Amino acid sequence: MPKAIVLEKYCKSCSLCVEICPMKIMAISEKTNEKGYFVATCVDQEKCTGCTLCATVCPDVAIEVYK
Amino acid sequence: MKKVFERTKGLSDAHFTFCPGCTHGTIMRLIAEVMEELNIIEDTIGVSPVGCAGFCQDFFTCDFVGAAHGRAQAVATGIKRSLPDKMVFTYQGDGDIAAIGTQHAIHSAARGERITSIMVNNAIYGMTGGQMAPTTLEGMKTTTSPFGRDPVSAGMPMDFPKIIANIPGAVYVASVSVDSPKNINKAKKAIKKAFQVQQAGLGFALVSILSTCPTNWGMSPVDSLDWLRENMLPIYELGVLKEIEEVKNL
Amino acid sequence: MEKVLLKGNEIIGEAAIRSGCKLFFGYPITPSTEVIEYLSANLPSQGGTVLQAEDEIGAINMCYGAACTGNRVLTASSSPGISLKQEGISYAAAVELPMVLVNVNRCGPGLGGLGPAQSDYFQSTKGGGHGDYRLIVLAPSKAQELYDYTMEAFDLADRYRNPVMVHTDGFLGQTMEPVVLKDRPEAPEVDQSWVVNGCKGREKRILASYSLTNEVGEENNLHWEKKYKEIEEKEQRWESFHTEDAEYLLVSFGTTGRICKSTVLNARKKGIKLGLIRPITLWPFPVKGIRPLVDQLKGIVTVELNTGQMIEDVKLAAECKVPIHLYRRQGGMLPTEDEILAYLEDIFQPDGSGEVHE
């Protein structure tokens, strides 16, 4: 099953993945990383299509996608 | 299950030190992926500039030389002339390449220097805190054009890749953007071509890339991409601005 | 060994080729232009590269790039051109790049003139560009030294990983003199484990001078300072001429150093015990050549082609224990040996009671 994994230490909470996701399953969580950013997360992996758009726009190369 | 998107070997494990949402990171990823795909990481020497772009030396996994402000292409020329078999590229902001270092950009192109130059155009000076750049748009507010860029005193923004495209030694000049997945993919193709031009020894290649500066533009990363699309795309025409026959055949 | 008659600037070019210099980047400027002309004609056939840059700024930064790869590289220019290069020289010093710079001095300031001058002494010896660094500066006074010192400059640059300047002028650069083309001296074994040439089989390397952490910045400065102190300790060079019994001393380098030898010989004919220290390294300044003479001296005259620059270093070397005066010509003029002697006699009255008249 496809999934998008956020490499939390790289995330800067910019929300570009949230905005681009066609399934609207990326969100900024309430969890912070070591830099203090609220990290993005996939809230509904079931719906992930593995389209890689989130990873494509992520300016911090913080998302890996499996399909 | 297969990994269909992972961090490229062209990037180190280091965090990018850019502000949240800054598309410098996207551009560096594309370059790093191209280096990995062409299998040239170990044969490449990058030249970093001054400004936000200068941090790039810490993020790529190839050798790097840090240049003085504006001098990246002169430094790259020295490296390439000394080691003609190595791949040499510069990573520069718009201020570096189109203001303080213009002469080196124009003359590297004129000599057909076998280097690849990446210009990141965010229409502002990022690292010094948001001053006017040669690429700042008409009417755009910066800390040194607080009432908006006035063409009467500050002139109009320069579409630098078009200037370079007029020079015979420049054999491949492309203007791309990283505002959308589609444009990001086009940007990667252009970057790859610009490295292949160097591999083939055909001449000077420049890829100009429209990028954002959410912090100094004073807007969110998402709004910055909208602003880029609405304001920069009409001024800075995207596309392959120049491509000689030999490059087309690559 | 081959003996040839060449212009001073051409000799520099020939010495560079025979030193294994692989790359030259420059921009024409009188009176240094023959260096790039000579190398343009002669370096490519030896497998080297000569590139006429868009300007001096381009040239020095090309040298910077080439030096990062570990190949021997040279640039040559004259005063205003050297001013343009200063930023790049500072960066090269910070990254510790071996390279050889030739300054065929013009007289200045501004565009100035083409005649011989030493007006760039401060610029050459006190850093020149921004920050706190030193160049090793060699000052030839004749054709053979242009050849020998240029060769040595490459070795010193490699040994200390530091830019080295050959400080000359239009008189030396334009004069034809015979020179023996000695073979390249045994080059020192140098560590090249720092060069950037693609990271195959090793960790990536970054050659840059950027540090935003103050602690690291201080560490860097201490590292450079240690190197400069080592150079000051080991590399002071000078020529002593009739100094053993000297009561009076001329200190002069380059073209005037050469003229001063005649002054010394003329003075000796008159019974004046005059000697000469001719600094070969302007930095490190040859304190060791001057300080041991202080107790025997009644007076020192520095002879310079500027408003008095080296005199400051001479005063420091002599710890101001001896009266020190300046005889200088400027604007491209050279002194004769007689006018130097006349000045010395006027200032110190050496034929009188032996006392010093201030």
Rounded Cα distance between C49 and C51, Å, is 7
- Mind listing the pLDDT tens digit for each residue in B135-166? 999 999 999 999 999 999 999 999 999 999 99
Q: Which of C217, C234, C251 is the last residue of a domain?
A: C234
Residue C354 lies in a domain: no
CB contact A32 to B (< 8 Å): no
ipTM: 0.97
Task: Scan for tokens 């005889």, then name that residue.
Answer: C327
C141 near C253, Cβ under 8 Å?
A: yes
Indicate if C96 and C131 belong to the same structural domain. Answer: yes
Contact A10 B20 (CB under 8 A): no
Residue C353 lies in a domain: no
Kindly state the tokens that stand for C221: 């400065």
Would you say the C-alpha torsion A62, A67, B4, B6 has a positive or negative sign? positive
Q: Give me the residues of chain C with pLDDT under 50, please.
A: 352-358
Domain count, chain C: 2
* pLDDT the model gives residue B184: 98
DSSP classification of residue B145:
B
SS3 letters across chain C: CCEEEEEHHHHHHHHHHHCCCCEEEECCCCCCHHHHHHHHHHCHHHCCEEEECCCHHHHHHHHHHHHHCCCCEEEEECHHHHHHHHHHHHHHHHHCCCEEEEEEECECCCCCECCCCCCCHHHHHCCCCCCCCCCEEECCCCHHHHHHHHHHHHHHHHHHCCEEEEEEEHHHHHCEEEEECCCCCCCCCCCCCCCCCCCCCCCCCEECCCCCCHHHHHHHHHHHHHHHHHHHHHCCCEEEECCCCCCEEEECCHHHHHHHHHHHHHHHHCCCCEEEEEECEEECCCHHHHHHHHHHCCEEEEEECCCCCHHHHHHHHCCCCCCEEEEECCCCCCCCHHHHHHHHHHHHCCCCCCCCCC
Q: Which chain B residues are within 8 Å of A1, Cβ to Cβ?
A: 1
Closest CB to B79 among C53, C59, C66: C66
Closest CB to B104 among C54, C64, C196: C54
Instruction: Give the Cα-Cα-Cα angle C24, C27, C32 (nearest 5 degrees).
Output: 85
Indicate if C112 and C127 belong to the same structural domain. Answer: yes
Contact A53 B181 (CB under 8 A): yes
Rounded Cα distance between C197 and C229, Å, is 30
* pLDDT the model gives residue C351: 67
**Side chain identity, residue C29:** I
Kindly state the tokens that stand for C74: 């040279």
A to C contact (≥3 Cβ pairs closer than 8 Å): no
Contact C198 B83 (CB under 8 A): yes
Closest CB to A14 among B11, B20, B29: B20
Which CATH number goes with the domain that contains C195? Answer: 3.40.50.970
Interface test with A, best of B11, B15, B179, B183 (most A CBs within 10 A): B15
Contact B106 C54 (CB under 8 A): yes
CB contact A66 to B (< 8 Å): yes
Distance (Å) from the C-alpha of residue A10 to the closest C-alpha of chain B? 6
DSSP classification of residue B56:
G
- Could you give the domains of chain B? 24-248 (3.40.50.970)
Indicate if C177 and C247 belong to the same structural domain. Answer: no
A23 near A65, Cβ under 8 Å?
A: no
* pLDDT the model gives residue B43: 98
Q: Which of C207, C234, C261 is the last residue of a domain?
A: C234
Contact B5 A63 (CB under 8 A): yes
Residues contacting residue C149 through CB under 8 Å, at least 6 positions apart: C138, C139, C140, C166, C280
CB contact A65 to B (< 8 Å): yes
Number of other CB atoms surrounding residue C9 within 10 Å: 26
B50 near B68, Cβ under 8 Å?
A: yes
Look at residue B41 and tell me whether its pLDDT is greater than 80: yes
DSSP classification of residue A61:
-
CB contact A21 to B (< 8 Å): no
Indicate if C121 and C187 belong to the same structural domain. Answer: yes
Indicate if C94 and C138 belong to the same structural domain. Answer: yes
B188 near B35, Cβ under 8 Å?
A: no
- Mind listing the pLDDT tens digit for each residue in A39-64? 999 999 999 999 999 999 999 999 99
Provide mean pLDDT across the span B164-169.
Answer: 98
Residue C219 lies in a domain: yes
Chain C contact partners (≥3 CB pairs within 8 A): B
Indicate if C270 and C216 belong to the same structural domain. Answer: no
Torsion angles phi and psi, residue C86, rounded to 5: -60, -40
Provide mean pLDDT across the span A2-28.
Answer: 97
Q: Which of C234, C254, C278 is the last residue of a domain?
A: C234
Q: Which chain A residues are within 8 Å of B22, Cβ to Cβ?
A: 59
| Closest-CA residue of chain A to B7 | A61
The rounded radius of gyration (Å) of the Cα atoms in chain C is: 21
- Mind listing the pLDDT tens digit for each residue in B211-236? 999 999 999 999 999 999 999 999 99
Is B208 exposed, middle or buried (CB count within 10 Å of its CB: 0-12, 13-18, 19+)?
Answer: buried
Torsion angles phi and psi, residue C188, rounded to 5: -65, 150
Beta strand extents in B20-70 (DSSP E only) = 44-48, 63-66
Indicate if C195 and C344 belong to the same structural domain. Answer: no
Contact B20 A1 (CB under 8 A): no
- Taking chain C, what is the end-to-end CA distance rounded to the nearest angstrom? 51
B19 near B214, Cβ under 8 Å?
A: yes
Q: Residue B162: which of B240, B224, B250 has the closest Cα?
A: B240
| Backbone conformation region of residue B98, classed left if phi is above 0, alpha if psi is from -120 to 50, else beta | alpha
**Side chain identity, residue C1:** M
| Closest-CA residue of chain C to B47 | C65
**Side chain identity, residue A13:** S
Parent domain of C126 = 3-234
Look at residue B87 and tell me whether its pLDDT is greater than 80: yes
The dihedral over CA atoms of C279, C280, C286, C290, expressed in degrees to the nearest 10, equals -40
B to C contact (≥3 Cβ pairs closer than 8 Å): yes
Rounded Cα distance between C22 and B249, Å, is 35
Indicate if C162 and C260 belong to the same structural domain. Answer: no
Provide mean pLDDT across the span B84-93.
Answer: 98
Q: Residue C120: which of C250, C298, C307, C343 has the closest Cα?
A: C307
Look at residue B124 and tell me whether its pLDDT is greater than 90: yes
- Could you give the domains of chain A? 3-66 (3.30.70.20)
Indicate if C271 and C321 belong to the same structural domain. Answer: yes
For the residues of A17-58, what is the DSSP string, one character each? HHHH-TT--EEEEEEE-TTSPEEEEES-GGG-----HHHHH-
Residue C118 lies in a domain: yes
Q: Which chain B residues are within 8 Å of A53, Cβ to Cβ?
A: 181
b/e for A29-40, b at 16 or more Cβ within 10 A?
eeeebeeebbbb
Q: Crossing angle, helix C56-68 and helix B102-110, to 10 degrees?
A: 70
Q: Please state, in angstroms and as integers, the Cα–Cα distance from residue B113 to each residue in B92, B194, B246, C27, C100, following that order.
A: 16, 12, 16, 17, 24
Q: Residue C12: which of C239, C236, C137, C168 has the closest Cα?
A: C168
Indicate if C264 and C294 belong to the same structural domain. Answer: yes
Residue C122 lies in a domain: yes
**Side chain identity, residue C123:** Q
Residue C358 lies in a domain: no
* pLDDT the model gives residue C188: 72
Q: Which chain B residues are within 8 Å of A16, Cβ to Cβ?
A: 21, 221-222, 225
Indicate if C218 and C286 belong to the same structural domain. Answer: no
Q: Which chain B residues are within 8 Å of C25, Cβ to Cβ?
A: 78
- Taking chain B, what is the end-to-end CA distance rounded to the nearest angstrom? 34
Distance (Å) from the C-alpha of residue C127 to the closest C-alpha of chain B? 17
Chain A contact partners (≥3 CB pairs within 8 A): B
Distance (Å) from the C-alpha of residue B11 to the closest C-alpha of chain A? 9
C119 near C78, Cβ under 8 Å?
A: no
Closest CB to A66 among B3, B15, B181: B3
Residue C243 lies in a domain: yes
**Side chain identity, residue B4:** V
Indicate if C311 and C208 belong to the same structural domain. Answer: no
State the average pLDDT for chain B: 97
Rounded Cα distance between C218 and C241, Å, is 42
